[in-house]
Structure 1
């Protein structure tokens, strides 16, 4: 019997209409006031300005040059904040019905440009198409929930004395940053936002252009954190600071706002952990594992650490290794034929080549000092275009026993790298799950509900799931953090509105403040 050799798969190609050039032309047509030639503009004093020094930028997807942030200097940023205060003083007196109408019109415009916003997210920050669409949809649906129900949330409350300043990381421009801006404006505040340094400037520019057209008082500027901090954090005009990012930058922000007694919401990173203790339901864990690699674990509620009872390690690996080996990753726009649907991927590239190198170096450092590689993926298994730039791509890696000297032992990797720690006692379990001095979420898989109820309060995470992952949440769900993962007011539901409005005299906001904490 003669076997016919299997034909090699044809090389992948770019999905039709998804080049950066095509996306840019759509931006120029959709919001010509905000995009000019090959650059984006800054929005302040209710006008678009061709100011700032434009920095070069490339797409993490394939190294294609994209629009860079037009970075302002400190003096111009201070002028922008002063202008935002003038907008705020007018907007805070606009009736709620009119604010709702303008925000609702903005949401309708976002829906009309949903696919373009999603494509910009793919190109600028490397999100797979499904994740990019979900980011846009969560922003729209979340703000609509607030628009429909905000009246009772505002009962007895008034806008702040100054605009809200927003500084957020690059990974969720729509569902975190744009969502926050529109809810803050709905509550009666003018809003100021700094574009993230690492990506998302075009997506945010388009979203803010659509809001500004409807008369929503939004300011959008680019610049370095060091140069703009005096204006965006310390300026007396600012009524509240909302920050989402890493602990190093967050610590500096926390110091600045605490010294001034300024209202603040500071969400920072933490090493979220998944514990496995006296557990037999590995089918549930197997179902959850692939979803944990969403967007390459570049999100604040990712689970990069598994703390496993030593006697269950073999059962854990039986479900874990097949899941990680089956992950689909690569170019988010690479298809067999130009007209094919977007590829179904678990993740694409990291945010940039520098982050990819940093993470690869951390893995090498950990292995050199004793960590055991249990799985190392390969770019040969990734869906990539022929000859494309792959410098921002990192295949999934799993290490057993990261040494205490490694950053992977105590810090969030923010990439597709898992670490596993084996423990023998409940005390070791809790110590390993609390390695980063506070986290946003955690999960404990254990059969006995009484064991979960006893151990969960000792895990220093704001939300702890019983065998299921937890997420940031919004709408009617409270969210915050423990330890170094959060500072200031908690958010979610009416707490998000409360954090950016004034209540009765002497009100104490729920959150992590010096000497005051509300437990979830």
Structure 2
């Protein structure tokens, strides 16, 4: 593995088996990392192939090279995984909170010690630059640490009933086996944001990683498997079923009475479908869905800070983030200057493969993403928008689209009504605070909003009037493991992270006790 600076005798190892299925090629990964990535299913503590024997390819979006063939899970495999989670549940919920906490802390340490290995894996399958991949590993590990701390902080209540006589006893218990469906764009952070609170609460899990980026999940799952085994804890607590057909695997699970919880991150359209399927069993659900984040720049804003924040909010992971700034709403008085400064800054960003030195912006995840972004840009230009920088997909291999700034984008442009999910910043003007709020809130989504202003009163009003579950004031990054992550309206249900994150995997029980 990658050299670790601690003494060898003190450093934990990845303890990941060699691939169980043939690799189609692993050149984009350091050889020692590639040799330790499992590519099978994890069911009941054992790695193995799909029941069908089928596999699917995982490729590097920067080169289109195939990294590995991964086991293609079937409904039968998912049923076995849920069975393993169900069987492990009685023992797992009986494990002391402190012991669950220490497990998560140990996994946090191992992920941190192998930061470079995980970063290389994320860059290979997801495409993001190594610096961003390292930042994601840190962010993902932080959920392990945070929920290790929260595992011993369950809240309860004991008090006399207001009418007297009886006592009210309120406690929380784990909801039960949980299905975790994760997206491709942040393969470790979106997993640990769900997995850590589930385990901390006492819930076993079945993980369905994204088809495009399952490798990071598989590597992390092996660390958990080995830690569970080493501590003589039930290894069936963590199960992983990668698949090329999400609906074929998740559909039967959602109708199975053994499943008690669904957590999903992805598009609003898919989220609605899953909610309908979950209704049959009245499953407890968490939904982190799509966004259409406004980025407001008022006339009194610090434009240098606003541009810096815009680069973070727009270009992180090449704009492929549910919290990416989608619409830049800028006051008439500073719109031209802001757009010019942003275009100048974006022009300095280097597009390329994430492993290359000096690369700031990586590829999109697949060809149809490039086609979508290109179509939205062309539509805006046809409606009168001006291309200030970028605006095209470079020739050659890989799924790249040049970082782009568009000026004078009309308010009815298609890209302002949906998630762009690419490196395109459309700038639209507003003339008053009232118009800014009307434009910002004029969407079915409500995940996150950003605003730059020096006016404290205005800033406070924005925190009350913007229809978003998260708001960044004078900063372009809101994500934090210790804060509640989630949206309003069509952007989802529930919260991940913070104190609220563990409650999503618990149910409240009230007992009336007559003394």
> Alpha-carbon deviation of 1:169?
0.8
One of 209, 218, 237 as aligned partner of 1:205? 218
Q: 1:363 aligns with which of 377, 398, 412?
A: 377
Partner of 1:271: 292
2:67 maps to 66
1:47-196 aligned at under 5 Å gives the runs 47-51=46-50, 52=52, 53-153=54-154, 157-196=171-210
> Does residue 318 of structure 2 align to residue 312 of structure 1?
no
Query: Equivalences for 1:337-356 in 2 at 5 Å?
Result: 343-356=357-370
The C-alpha deviation readout for 1:71-130, integer Å capped at 9, x for no partner, is 222233123212211112221112223223333332333234322211111110001111
Structure 2 partner of 1:485? 491
Deviation, structure 1 residue 404:
6.4
Question: Structure 1's 29 and 393: CA in aligned 2 closer, same or farther, altered over 3 A?
Answer: closer
Segment drifting more, 300-309 vs 394-403: 394-403
SS at match of 2:330: strand
State the alpha-carbon separation in 2 of the partners of residues 28 and 465 from structure 1.
Answer: 38
Q: Aligned with 1:469: secondary structure?
A: coil
Match in the other structure for 1:510: none
Residues 446 and 488, structure 2, Cα contact 8 Å, conserved in 1: yes
* Inter-partner Cα distance in structure 2 for 1:290 and 1:496: 29
Given that 1:139 and 1:176 are in contact with CA atoms closer than 8 Å, whether structure 2 keeps it comes out as yes
Q: Cα 1:306–1:62, aligned 2, differ >3 Å: closer, same or farther?
A: same
Answer whether contact 1:157 1:501 (CA < 8 A) is retained: no
Q: 1:371 to 1:105 in 2, by over 3 A?
A: same
User: What secondary structure sits across from 1:173 in the alignment?
Assistant: coil
The answer to whether the aligner puts 1:457 opposite 2:464 as a matched pair is yes
Alpha-carbon contact 1:63-1:389 (below 8 Å) kept: no
Query: Following the alignment from structure 1 to structure 2, what is the Cα–Cα distance between the partners of residues 67 and 406?
Result: 40
2:339–2:405 Cα contact (<8 Å) kept: no
Residue aligning to 2:475:
468
SS at match of 2:42: strand
Deviates more, 1:348-357 or 1:453-462: 453-462
In structure 2, stretches of 5+ residues that fail to align are 1-24, 157-169, 229-234
Q: Structure 2: how far apart are the matches of 1:231 and 1:47?
A: 22
In the alignment, the residues of structure 2 paired with residue 327 and residue 23 of structure 1 have an alpha-carbon distance, to the nearest angstrom, of 24
CA contact (8 A) 2:288 2:491 kept: yes
Asked if the contact 2:403/2:423 (under 8 Å) is kept, the reply is: yes
- Name the SS of the counterpart of 1:429 in structure 2: helix
Match of 2:436 in 1: 429
C-alpha distance 463-111 of structure 1, shift in aligned 2 (>3 A) = closer
TM-score (norm 2): 0.83
SS in 1 for 2:212: coil
Q: What SS does the corresponding residue of 1:393 show, helix, strand or coil? A: coil
Shift of 1:49: 1.7
Coordinate RMSD, CA, aligned? 2.4
- Partner of residue 275 from structure 2, selected from 224, 238, 254: 254
Which of 234, 238, 258 matches 2:259? Answer: 238
Q: Give distance in 2, aligned partners of 1:22 and 1:404.
A: 42
Match for residue 403 of structure 2 among 393, 396, 399: 396
Shift of 1:44: 1.1
Give the secondary structure class of the aligned counterpart of 1:153.
coil
Question: In structure 1, how many angstroms separate the alpha carbons of the residues matched to 2:48 and 2:335?
Answer: 58
Q: 3-state DSSP class of the match of 2:469? A: strand
Q: What CA distance in whole angstroms lies between the structure 2 residues aligned with 1:150 and 1:83?
A: 23
State the Cα deviation string for residues 372-427 of structure 1 (Å, max 9, x = none).
323226677xxxxxxx9534000012223545665312111111011111122333
- Partners of 1:413 and 1:68 in 2: CA distance: 30
CA 1:393/1:233 → structure 2, altered by over 3 Å: closer, same or farther? Answer: same
For the residue of structure 1 that corresponds to 2:27, the secondary structure is helix
Task: Indicate whether 1:286 and 2:307 are aligned.
Answer: yes
In structure 1, stretches of 5+ residues that fail to align are 1-18, 335-342, 381-387, 507-520
Which position in structure 2 is the counterpart of 1:338?
Answer: none
For residue 461 of structure 1, give the secondary structure of its aligned residue in structure 2. Answer: coil
Contact residue 178 and residue 207 of structure 1 kept, 8 A: no
Taking the aligned partners of 2:285 and 2:504, their CA distance within structure 1 comes to 8
SS of residue matched to 2:153: helix
Question: Counterpart in 2 of 1:440?
Answer: 447
Deviation at 1:443, TM superposition (A): 1.8
| 8 Å Cα contact 2:60/2:124 also seen in 1 | yes
Structure 2: distance between partners of 1:450 and 1:182: 38
SS for the counterpart of 1:192 is strand
> 1:45 maps to what in 2?
44
Partner of 1:418: 425
Normalising by structure 1, report the TM-score: 0.83
- Separation of aligned partners in 1, 2:346 and 2:195: 37
Contact 1:270 1:412 in 2 (8 A): yes
CA contact (8 A) 2:268 2:290 kept: yes
Aligned to 2:4: none
1:306–1:421 contact (8 Å) kept in structure 2: yes
Cα distance in 2 between the residues matched to 1:372 and 1:324: 15
Match of 1:300 among 322, 334, 339: 322
Q: Distance in 1 between matches of 2:154 and 2:189?
A: 21
